[in-house]
């Protein structure tokens, strides 16, 4: 009888900029790494046009070489999370502000034709062979053009990577089995954190955020809640590694970790595509897949 060949589970998270992987799904990734899952973060752009959001890092020498600095920050964050990481190599589009907003800069990620932008991701999927992919919804989670484009290329890669007739020359076909959207800042989660802080006598930063969510209803239902409270501290350390983007005195860290673990101990997702049978709601991104893959 032939010996059964074991295969590790593999998770790919596709993000627009360095720091996105630490603000969306980081505790989930750290939990799965600890469980023996292979995790790859794909970063579409270098974040070259991102503003410096931490006053302590707002210095001329950092602004002059922001792309290199953000690359170094990403290296620290991936080490903290224990993940592999690769760059697609596209240029940050920036966030257009104004009324009307200015045109996007020539050559940026958001303006690339879909097949040009998706080709290196298809190559990455065929090389890494993920069972599960994570990305943003069609609005990008928030309307940054690079986040919207990341959604587009992720869906394209999920649907095309298994087709031998598409994207020739990018490796042997591989079909991921599930695609999820991040549901990080849901109304239910923010209400729970807001209430926990109020009960503890701590001023909450979520009031205005909740008002904005009332004006913009959540487009997708949460289908999957991954318990990962034990890795919230790891998530925060990865966030802090992105020192140009994350103010250690900012809203990310206002709610104490013990309150977060008690009030909302999961990271949440919407199952957008599945080629395996699974029962909703889920508590595992690999539900329906573990039975097919021998660890």
| Alpha-carbon torsion, ordered 179, 206, 77, 154, to 10 deg | 20
**Is-contact 223 283, C-beta < 8 A?**
no
Q: Please say whether the beta carbons of 13 and 78 come within 8 A.
A: no
Q: Determine contact, residues 253/236, Cβ cutoff 8 Å.
A: yes
Does 270 show up as a binding residue in the annotation?
no
Packed helices 66-81 and 232-241: angle between N→C axes, nearest 10 degrees = 160
| Residue 204 token pair | 């909450």
Residue 1, classified by CB atoms within 10 Å of its CB into exposed (0-12), middle (13-18) or buried (19+), is exposed
Q: Is 15 within any annotated ligand binding site?
A: no
Largest Cα–Cα distance of the chain, in whole Å? 69
- Strands of the sheet with 10-15, listed across from one edge: 84-90, 38-45, 10-15, 132-135, 178-182, 266-274, 224-227
Q: Is 151 labeled as ligand-binding? A: no
Give the whole-angstrom CA distance, residue 165 versus residue 143.
Answer: 33
Which tokens in the block code for residue 8?
């590790």
Short-list 24, 64, 25, CA closest to 226: 25
Residues of the binding site for Zn(2+): 17, 20, 147
Residue ranges at the known binding site: 17, 20, 147
């Amino acid at each position: 009888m032939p010996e059964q060949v074991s295969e590790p589970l593999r998770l790919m998270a596709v993000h627009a900029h360095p720091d996105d992987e630490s603000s969306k799904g980081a505790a989930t990734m750290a939990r799965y790494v600890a469980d023996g899952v292979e995790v790859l973060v794909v970063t579409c752009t270098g974040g070259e046009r991102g503003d410096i959001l931490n006053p302590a890092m707002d210095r001329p020498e950092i602004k002059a070489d922001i792309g290199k600095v953000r690359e170094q920050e990403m290296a620290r964050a991936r080490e903290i999370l224990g993940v592999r990481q690769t760059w697609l190599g596209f240029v940050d589009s920036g966030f257009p502000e104004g009324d009307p907003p200015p045109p996007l800069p020539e050559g940026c990620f958001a303006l690339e034709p879909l097949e040009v932008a998706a080709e290196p991701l298809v190559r990455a999927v065929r090389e890494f062979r993920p069972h599960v992919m994570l990305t943003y919804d069609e609005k990008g989670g928030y309307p940054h053009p690079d986040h919207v484009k990341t959604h587009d290329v992720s869906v394209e890669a999920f649907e095309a990577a298994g087709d031998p007739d598409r994207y020739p020359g990018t490796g042997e076909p591989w079909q991921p089995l599930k695609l999820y959207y991040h549901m990080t800042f849901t109304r239910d989660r923010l209400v729970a954190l807001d209430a926990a802080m109020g009960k503890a006598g701590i001023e909450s930063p979520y009031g205005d955020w909740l008002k904005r969510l009332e004006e913009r209803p959540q487009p997708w239902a949460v289908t999957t809640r991954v318990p990962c409270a034990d890795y919230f501290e790891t998530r925060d350390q990865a966030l802090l590694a992105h020192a140009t983007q994350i103010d250690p005195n900012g809203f990310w860290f206002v709610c104490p970790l013990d309150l977060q673990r008690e009030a909302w101990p999961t990271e949440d997702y919407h199952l957008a595509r599945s080629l395996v049978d699974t029962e909703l709601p889920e508590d595992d991104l690999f539900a329906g897949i573990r039975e097919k893959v021998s660890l």
